Structure 1
Amino acid sequence: MITGSQCRAARALVEISRPMLARRSEVSVDAIERFENVSGSLKRTEIQAIQDTLEELGAVFIPENGSGYGVRLKFNNLEAAEIARFECEGGLVADDRVP
């Protein structure tokens, strides 16, 4: 499950307003605002609906990994193709250990 801070950050990354997120996730604007401001809790189903909606829009949620929770954007098709092209430009892969 995501946190209110992750929700707020993801909304900023995918550039969606609370009212638009509310319409798409079918969770009220007031509930989203309370969740983001940590002054209220939501049902698991509501949090999951918000998370699913934000993921559909390109957010990737990073679970606790020792450095905290996070959120980032998915690569778009152009960026993914560019990365794949760069990965293939290095020549042969060899053992890089120094004897």
Structure 2
Amino acid sequence: MLKTLTSAQSRAGRALVKWSVRDLSEKCGVHRNTISAFETDQTEPNGSTLTVLRQALETAGVEFIPENGGGAGVRLRKTSP
């Protein structure tokens, strides 16, 4: 199964948009404890949970960089001048 979001990408994505765990929770409807457990590698949420986490971060401007030999990552979408 293709992993849609890693715990490190979630933490980094939140940092890029200056969101707390609570902020992400409110944006996507996933409980704070679920997000915290995922981001600290205590649990692996189901696919639909990972999808809504990723979608919330993408809506905020986070772009996800796939594993391409250099490691998966994130960046902030470039805004038009």
Q: 1:21 aligns with which of 11, 20, 24?
A: 24
Unaligned runs of 5+ in 2: none
Aligned to 2:6: 3
Q: Which amino acid aligns with 2:5?
A: I
Q: Which amino acid aligns with 2:56?
A: T
Count the aligned residue pairs: 78
Aligned to 1:88: none
Moved over 4 A (4+): none
Identity of aligned residues (%): 36
Query: With structure 2 as the length reference, what TM-score do the two structures score?
Result: 0.93
Q: Which has the higher contact order (CA 8 A, sep 6+)?
A: 2
SS at match of 1:77: coil
SS at match of 2:15: helix
Aligned to 1:48: 51
Query: With structure 1 as the length reference, what TM-score do the two structures score?
Result: 0.77
SS at match of 2:5: coil
Which has the higher Rg, Structure 1 or Structure 2? 1
Q: 2:34 aligns with which of 31, 36, 49?
A: 31
